[in-house]
């Protein structure tokens, strides 16, 4: 398999979404404009909207309030620690929130690892699809979101949390 990256852009209530995928259609990232450490289209990437039809449909249904769980092939690459954190994010259900400390506990990390958990969550390459927006501060505050707190508020409002 090649390292070729395919991409498309999709309009959404939180701005234009940049989706990338492997040649087989497995999603590798979903980024929003201005995202901290977000991806931008690179030379050599192939614009191929046909690979993203299912993702577009599911995202539209999510933003319409009709889809609560994405069923898409996702692939991300990170350290073993990041992979554990991202797997824990995948278990946070629609319409609920968790804290950085709870994620640390779920992966068996000590309480002192909360900052590292936050770093791994901030490095999540699959915004919205891997619901890092559902992680809030221990005091209930909306802290840190690579896509910006305004988008986090929008997503949590959509899901009925706010």
CA distances from 132 to 17, 44, 111, 117, 118 (A): 16, 29, 19, 11, 10
Please name the residue that has the structure tokens 């005091």.
Answer: 139
**Positions marked active-site:** 132
CA distances from 133 to 1, 85, 126 (A): 32, 14, 11
Q: Identify the CA nearest to 98 among candidates 127, 146, 69, 140.
A: 140
**Tokens coding 139:** 């005091």
């Amino acid at each position: 398999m090649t390292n070729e990256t395919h991409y498309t852009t999709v309009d959404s209530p939180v701005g234009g979404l940049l989706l990338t995928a492997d040649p087989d259609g497995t999603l590798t990232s979903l980024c929003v404009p201005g995202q901290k450490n977000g991806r931008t289209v690179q030379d050599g990437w192939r614009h191929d909207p046909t690979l993203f039809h299912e993702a577009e449909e599911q995202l539209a249904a999510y933003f319409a309030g009709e889809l609560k769980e994405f069923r898409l092939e996702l692939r991300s690459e990170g350290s073993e620690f990041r992979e554990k954190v991202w797997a824990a994010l995948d278990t946070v259900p629609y319409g609920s929130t968790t804290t950085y400390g709870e994620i640390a506990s779920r992966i068996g990390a000590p309480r002192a690892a909360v900052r590292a958990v936050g770093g791994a969550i901030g490095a999540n390459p699959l915004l919205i699809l891997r619901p890092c927006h559902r992680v809030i501060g221990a005091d209930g505050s909306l802290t840190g979101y690579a896509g910006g707190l305004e988008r986090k508020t929008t997503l949590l409002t959509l899901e009925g949390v706010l």
